[in-house]
Amino acid sequence: MKLPQALILVILFSSTTTSIASYSKDGCEDMCGKVRIPFPFGIGTKCSVNRWYTVDCNSSTPYLSAFNHLQVLGVNLELQTITVNTPKYYDCQNLGSQTRSIDLGKSPFLFSKSHNKFVFEGCGSARIMDHGSHVLTGCSNNCLNDTLSDRNSCFGNSCCQNTIPRYLKSYNINITRQGGDDRGCGSAFLVDETSYVEGDNNSYIPTSLLWTLSDADIYVYPMIDRGDKVRCYSQPSIVEVDLGDGTPLKSWKCSIWPGEGNPYLFYGINDDCAKCRRSGNECHYDEIYDPDGVLIKWNATCVDYGWLNVKENKISLGVILGNAYSRSLLGT
């Protein structure tokens, strides 16, 4: 019996194409406009690990729906951060002011101490404080004798910056303007250090949030699939986050794996082991070290656990590891 020509074409196409990298859950979109939304985030309630990670895609622009629609600028799986647009805080009346940041509350997000910096643009001083009256960081500018053009540089007299000492759920900003200065508004904000543009007049600025995963969000043994939790491509690890109260917050992190794709999905990386797993087999890894004890590549074995036969196919991944693999979540 002859196969129909269309069916022959489908068979040929299926046998010659290679699997592509996965970033979202099956059946979910991973792009909103030009922004990739990888799992554990997801576009729509059924595509994220929980409601905090749900993203709405409106007019090709992604928003975190749980936070009154904060605009999402990007998600970094390696650093475990999500960059969002947050408002600048202004004092335009030269009387001094205090305002409170967005409250991350019971969410799994924190303002990242490793990837944000505190910036004050104006004349006088600005401070970040916790819920009480404890000053966490701050800086001041004396700019009575400078010109307006000096304000385009944060290394001049009218702009200063500083680090924050720990991760925060919320904070207060207190701005005290310099007496005798009436040249516009002062502004203070936390900003992602790689995205800060000096002299930017936008009322919103990019801020990085650290996202965390609790025990309820992840399967430690990813071969078990009983729901919508995170199943890491390789064995997950625990990182500790400094909250400043003596009790670190523990969060799960999926190890960054060489190859294209998402390590927060069990089938998320496009390599030979992913093909092995999709065929119903299991991939075992042997770590290969150089003479100095540095992990340089993996050799993988695809094992078929059949009742009659046990087949082993050796797969050499042969991927040289870069510095990104060894870099920790806390930026150390």
Assign residue 195 the CATH number of its domain.
2.60.120
Considering only 43-52, 164-173, 258-267, which range has the smallest mean pLDDT? 258-267
Consecutive H or E run containing 55: strand 54-58
Q: Is residue 229 part of a domain?
A: no
Mean pLDDT of 69-95: 86
CA distance linking residue 114 with residue 187, whole number of Å: 22
In sequence order, the 6+-apart residues with CB closer than 8 A to the CB of 126 are 118, 120, 138, 139, 140, 173, 174, 175, 176, 186, 188
- Would 134 be classed as within a structural domain? yes
Query: Whose CA is closest to 210, among 246, 259, 249?
Result: 249
87 with 108, same domain: the answer is yes
Q: Among 71-80, 202-211, 235-244, 307-316, name the one with the lowest average pLDDT.
A: 307-316
Instruction: State whether 114 and 54 are in the same domain.
Output: no
Length of the chain: 332
Q: For the chain, what is the total number of helices (H) and then of strands (E)?
A: 3, 22
CB 115 within 8 A of CB 79: yes
- Judge if 191 and 95 occupy the same domain: yes
Same domain, 71 and 91: no
Question: Is 97 in the same domain as 204?
Answer: yes
Q: For the chain, how many structural domains are there in total?
A: 2
Contacts of 142 (CB under 8 A, 6+ apart): 123, 157, 178
**227, 226, 230: which is closest to 218 by C-alpha?**
230
Domain membership of residue 230 (yes or no) is no
What count of other Cβ atoms lies within 10 Å of the Cβ of residue 189?
Answer: 23
- Are 48 and 146 part of one and the same domain? no
Tell whether 86 and 195 lie within a shared domain.
yes
Q: Residues 2-19: pLDDT tens digits?
A: 434 332 222 222 223 345
Say yes or no to pLDDT of 224 above 80.
Answer: no
* H/E element, 323: helix 323-326
Q: Which two tokens stand for residue 268?
A: 């998320």
Please tell me whether residues 117 and 45 are part of one structural domain. Answer: no
Judgement on whether residues 62 and 146 belong to the same structural domain of the protein? no
Domain that holds residue 85: 81-211
Whether 201 shows a pLDDT value over 80: the answer reads no
Q: Say if residue 108 is in the same domain as residue 62.
A: no
Domain membership of residue 93 (yes or no) is: yes
Q: Quick check: pTM over 0.85?
A: no
Kindly state whether residues 45 and 65 are assigned to the same domain. Answer: yes
